[in-house]
Amino acid sequence: MKFKKNIATSDTGFVFNPGSGDSFSSNQIGTDIIACFKEDKSRQEIIELISDKYDVERNQLEKDLEDFLTQLREHNLLEE
């Protein structure tokens, strides 16, 4: 699981895939997580970072992160 390297993101949550021409919009947490992916952070590191910044239980975050990955996969934004 890896985020595609060439994907462009902005602070406003706009995500552009130059490979496919698709554009996306993400919320703040999604944007933060994508930023982590781009820095090649591990899933564990991401959970640490996000739960430090946001008021969330780890179980919840783990589950939601899994769902977010499903969405990214669905949108063809991951390298398998």
Cβ-Cβ contacts under 8 Å for 66 (sequence gap 6 or more): none
Among 44, 55, 79, 80, binds another protein (CB under 8 A): 55
Q: Do residues 3 and 78 lie in contact, with contact meaning Cβ atoms separated by under 8 Å?
A: yes
Among 68, 78, 79, 80, binds another protein (CB under 8 A): 68
Environment class of 56 (CB within 10 Å of its CB; exposed 0-12, middle 13-18, buried 19+): middle
- Asked if 45 touches another protein (CB under 8 A), the answer is no
Question: Which residues of this chain interact with another protein, rule CB under 8 A?
Answer: 10, 12-16, 22-30, 32-34, 52-56, 60-61, 64-65, 67-68, 70-72, 74-75, 77
